[in-house]
Chains A and B, each alone.
Chain A
Amino acid sequence: MILASGPLRAHRLDEYLQGTLISIEKNRVQAQIALTPGVAVYPILLAVIDADHDGVISESEKRAYAGRVLHDLSLSIDGRSLTPRLLSAQFPAIEDIKEGRGEIRIEFESDLPGGGPSRKLLLQNRHQSRIAAYQVNCLVPRDSDIKVVAQRRNYTQSSYELDYTQAGAVSSPLLRWPSGLNAPALAIALLLIARLGFLWRSPARYF
């Protein structure tokens, strides 16, 4: 047997792979980020994750790091900012991270406010951007009322846009809730306007 040459590396090396899979529902977006540090960059990550440098990733350190990852994300729907809520965070053993085979899995969700039939979700990831290799994909929606129209990304996939349609949503912009105003507040406002109109037409308006 004769041999081939070249470096022998069975593991991720100098990048921090961050693969995100997004799942869209009518009232909710859920996502999983699988983060795999390469062997050449794990010291950068461990210094952040194992904050007290005791060689163990404690529960509070796991929560803190997951929070940091979520803090480095920007998520919005139809131009309205969303706050990701942590669902779970799974960490491998430090030895696995050191060998480039350790995958951190973080799951989060966010409630989606009502919207029109055509929607745009935006996800931006800035976490460890200097060493990151981002990947973002949308899962085929389980709800047949939701159809993915387009996915757009920049070259590094740090910025991801998802256009989708949602059957059964109110289509007229006049009937959409104005941005920043919740449904009960709008209902109260409409009632007040109606009451004022009634008073204006009534003779009592002169008193």
Chain B
Amino acid sequence: MRSARRVPTLRILTLFLLPLSGVVAQTATSRIVSAANAFLSTLDQKQRQSVLFAFDDEKQRTRWSNFPVQMVPRAGLSLKDMNAAQRAAAMTLVSAALSPRGFEKVQQIMEGDEVNKVNSRNNPIFGKDLYFISFLGTPSEKTPWMLQFGGHHLALNITIAGDHGILTPTLTGAQPALFTADGKTVRPLAGESDKAVALLNSLDENQRKQAVLSFRLADLVLGPGQDGKTIQPEGLKATNMNEKQKTLMLDVISEWANIVHESAAAARMAELKADINETWFAWSGPTDVTPGKNITAYYRIQGPHLVIEYAPQTLGGDPALHVHTMYRDPTNDYGRKFTGK
């Protein structure tokens, strides 16, 4: 009883206090813009020049890859070329644009590359400081602009257009996709793997026949350099799934959709939920799973506003330890729906 009474009291108090603190006025966009301007204010003139691009700079817009930055050079400013304060401001900005779990995932992907560096006797092509930040356009609450952050196995392309926050196209990946850090086991893309297995295991025999493709998929179909393309969907359509299975598929999708900050993620999930009956699930490869490890199969989820691909890499090692994923909205990559660019 006491706690039940306390809740309304707290709510009333909060309503009084929020306007005073200014929290109500601070939207996600204004938070991101403030963090962007705070970061820019730490840079000298030369650094500012290297980090700022015109909003219509198509070359920079599409300059992202799964490869390490020394193999496919990025533009912008790398963490390596920042001092501690600048680096902290850069990561605060990335954090502001993402959800807590999204930011954690990004940090784990970067940490994985640090593991690569140590494992390869400090090979300079790897490392968590080899990630670049850049802006297309000027950070603004009204005018569209873009924040890019990426390096090996990471390409975040975040378009901010007023209240809209668009994360597509975004590439995530992991190598190693399983490591230990500070005594904890880390699997940056665990949800992407485990939730897909839960969906697959929920299918009956007839559904599996449709979902599991009879041919091998060696890599991403719509990876870097394949903007603006929509392939014919295949596999099992959600109209042939029950409600629980549709919920499981939305849960898989949320691993990508929820990388961006909460309000943008909520809007995106609502859009994808509305599309669910037009969404397809396709799987190619082994259906057996080693507990605690990532799958070695490729899968794709595709709807009218969505393409997700999960592609383990068979590059001579264990494909469970090296994964590339792609997250696209063929109708709104780079926020084109809102920006016209």
Contacts A2-B180, A157-B216; A13 near B315 (Cβ below 8 A): yes
Q: Are B215 and A21 in contact (CB under 8 A)?
A: no
Min CB–CB distance A178 → chain B (angstroms): 31
Report yes or no: B316 in contact with A3, Cβ–Cβ below 8 A: no
Name the B residues within 8 Å of A4 (CB-CB).
115, 119, 176, 178-180, 321
Q: Nearest chain-A residue to B68 (Cβ)?
A: A10
From 190 to 241 in chain B, residues with beta carbon under 8 angstroms from any chain A beta carbon are 214-219, 221, 225-226, 229-232, 234
**Quick one: closest B residue to A20, CB to CB?**
B221
Task: Tell whether A13 pairs with B316 under 8 Å between CB atoms, given A137-B221, A139-B229.
Answer: yes
CB B43 to nearest CB in A, in angstroms, measures: 29
Asked whether B179 lies within 8 Å of A137 as measured between CB atoms, the reply is no
Name which residue of chain B comes closest to A23, CB basis: B229
Most chain B CB within 10 A, of A1, A5, A135, A154, is at A1
Cβ of B68: which chain A residues have Cβ within 8 Å of it?
10
Which among B179, B215, B226, B316 is the interface contact of A156 at CB below 8 angstroms? B215
Contact A10 B67 (CB under 8 A): yes
B216 touches A11 (CB 8 A): no
* Complex alpha-carbon distance, A154 and B234, angstroms: 15
> Would A10 and B217 count as touching, CB distance under 8 A?
no
| Among candidates A40, A101, A140, residue contacting B232 with C-beta atoms closer than 8 Å | A140
Give Cα A112 to B234, complex, Å. Answer: 25
Say yes or no for A14: interface residue by CB 8 A criterion: yes
Given contacts A1-B115, A21-B231, contact A14 B316 (CB under 8 A): yes
Binding site for A on B (CB under 8 A): 67-68, 71-72, 111, 114-116, 118-120, 123, 125-126, 152, 175-176, 178-183, 214-219, 221, 225-226, 229-232, 234, 314-318, 321-322
Pair B71/A157 contact, Cβ less than 8 Å = no
A103 within 8 A of B: yes
Q: Residue A3 contacts which of B119, B218, B229 (CB distance < 8 angstroms)?
A: B119
Checking A5, A11, A38, A148 against B119 with a beta-carbon cut-off of 8 angstroms, the contacting residue is A5
Residues from chain B with a CB closer than 8 A to the CB of A14 are 316
Further 13 A-B residue pairs, CB within 8 A, beyond A7-B316, A8-B119, A11-B315: A2-B182, A4-B178, A4-B321, A7-B315, A7-B317, A10-B71, A10-B175, A14-B316, A19-B221, A40-B316, A137-B221, A139-B230, A154-B215
Name the prevailing secondary structure of the A interface residues.
Answer: loop
Residues of A within 8 A of B317 (CB): 6-7, 9
Contacts of A40 in B (CB 8 A): 316
In the complex where A2-B179, A6-B317, A99-B71 touch, is A139 in contact with B218 (Cβ < 8 A)?
A: no
Q: Is the CB of B234 within 8 A of A151?
A: yes
A63 contacts chain B at the CB level, 8 A cutoff = no
Closest CB of chain B to A75's CB: distance in Å?
Answer: 18
Is B183 a contact partner of A17 (Cβ separation < 8 A)?
no
Complex: how many Å from CA A64 to CA B212?
A: 39
- Report if A10-B125 is in contact (Cβ < 8 Å); known contacts: A1-B115, A135-B218, A137-B231: yes
Q: Which residues of A contact B67 (CB under 8 A)?
A: 10-11, 101
